[in-house]
Amino acid sequence: MNGFVRRLVEALRTQWDELGGLGRAALAGIIASLGVAVVLGFSIPAAAGRHLLEARADQIEATVQQLADQGLIPTRIGEASEEFDDLVRLKLLGGDSVRVKVWALDGTIVYSDVPELIGDRFGFSHHAVTAPLGERSIGVSRLDEEENASEREFGELLEFYFPVFDSEGEVFAVFEVYQTADSYSNTLTRIRRNVWLSIGFGLGFLALFMGALTLAVAGVANRGRRQAEALLSALSRAQEAERKRTVGALHDDIGQPLYRLLYGIEGCKARLEPGDPVREELDRLEVLVRDIDRTLRAELRKLHHGAPDDLGLGPALEELARTISDEGELTVDVEVALARDPEPDARSALYRAVAEGLLNVRRHARTTHARVRVGSEDGRVVAEVTDDGVGPGRREGLGIVTTRERLEAVGGGLVVERRRGGGTVFRAWVPAAERDDS
């Protein structure tokens, strides 16, 4: 599972790098637009629903205020006049409105279009508690409440509560109107559908435009990338050729003359008596020449081992580990499990990546042990350099950037991340060599 997640992250990172700066901006714009669209898709219908309810409430409240201005709203049982009842049935009942109640402040129903309810007393519901305090309220009826027993036949209802004020501005009654929720729900459903359709069409056109722009930018970036990869690959081959030429030149033009010089010194010493001052000077010259020869051999070893195509990837890495371990700063364990080396360019890039990983361990990890593991994985040759040091830094240095570019030029990649339990994992990969079935 961890391997799958890691490969997925690597693939996403590669695709993200492929987009380039403008492509990433375009993708970010699409994602941001999608987020805004989702927010609008929910907020617009919600706002429209609130406005619909407020508009209905305003209409009802205007009628309630007319009745209050005429002094017709009752405050006690039996005060409701026939004129008030007629106006309620004429102006309020019918259509969506199915029930009207007038409440005294103690919770007693002093009027209803259903006479049987008059005189019943209930506590105000949570929707109605603000009305006795002077604020209208709107809510969906809870038909399981006792006060709504007579309204259950209508299904889901909207409750509108309005405070009724006397001439001194004090609330003396609460006017309640029930309306069916069907028309409101249907209207809200149509609004939602139209909003989402509009958003969908808009996002579709935006996605087409941004997608075309992203593909165009990615195409230009990929062409430039392929050119850079070709140049980098050619540079790598030129470096390898120059390295071989340098090794040969140092060995033939300096190494061999040094041997001849050393043999000459030894021959001269053989002709001189022990204790001769000239012989003592020749001894010092012999030590100096041998030191130069030793230094030259060490440098030639480093140059020679810089090309795994001379030794093979496994032996070259083992020799690199021995050289580093001999220097005494870092002990390196190498484990290579490969049936076949990658192609020469990929092999060289992977070797140099491991060398860069070990160099980073020596410089920054503050540890004395590192491990190199190389194996095949899903059509790739993967090399991991791990340590138990302080972990990776926040910023990648030039060596890491150059190494990643060299690997990408041959179709590979590089990830440097914190190791679980402490330390760093330096993971590089190149394509495995194609099978030769001939």
Q: How does pLDDT run across 335-346, given as a tens digit for each residue?
A: 999 888 888 888
Q: What does the pLDDT read at residue 23? A: 63
Q: Rounded to an integer, what distance in angstroms lies between the CA atom of residue 308 and that of residue 315? A: 8
Spatial strand order in the sheet of 157-165: 109-112, 97-103, 171-180, 157-165, 137-140
Is-same-fold flag (25-187; 310-431)? no
The DSSP secondary structure of 369-436, one letter per residue, reads: EEEEEEEEETTEEEEEEEE-SS---SS--HHHHHHHHHHHHTT-EEEEEEPTTSSEEEEEEEEPPPP-
- How do beta strands 369-377 and 331-337 pair? parallel
Q: How does pLDDT run across 355-400, given as a tens digit for each residue?
A: 889 888 888 888 889 999 999 988 899 999 999 888 887 777 878 8
- Span 310-431: which CATH code? 3.30.565.10
Q: What does the pLDDT read at residue 62? A: 92
- pLDDT band, residue 258 (cuts 50/70/90): confident
Tokens representing 234 are 């050619």
DSSP 5: H
Most confident of 158-172, 288-302, 310-324: 158-172
Tokens representing 9 are 């992250």
Q: Locate the domains of the chain by residue range.
A: 25-187, 310-431
Residue 170 CB-density burial (10 A; 0-12 exposed, 13-18 middle, 19+ buried): exposed
For residue 355, give the nearest of 368, 343, 372 by alpha carbon: 372
pTM of the complete model: 0.46
The DSSP secondary structure of 311-348, one letter per residue, reads: H-HHHHHHHHHHHHHHTTS-EEEEEEE-SS---HHHHH
Q: What does the pLDDT read at residue 18? A: 57
Would you call 72 helix, strand, or coil by DSSP? coil
Answer whether 383's CB lies under 8 Å from 314's CB: no
- pLDDT band, residue 301 (cuts 50/70/90): low
**Per mean pLDDT, which range of 71-80, 284-293, 333-342 is the poorest?**
284-293
Percent helix, percent strand, percent coil in the chain, to nearest 5: 60, 15, 25
Task: Calculate the average pLDDT of the chain.
Answer: 81
CATH topology of domain 25-187: Beta-Lactamase (3.30.450)
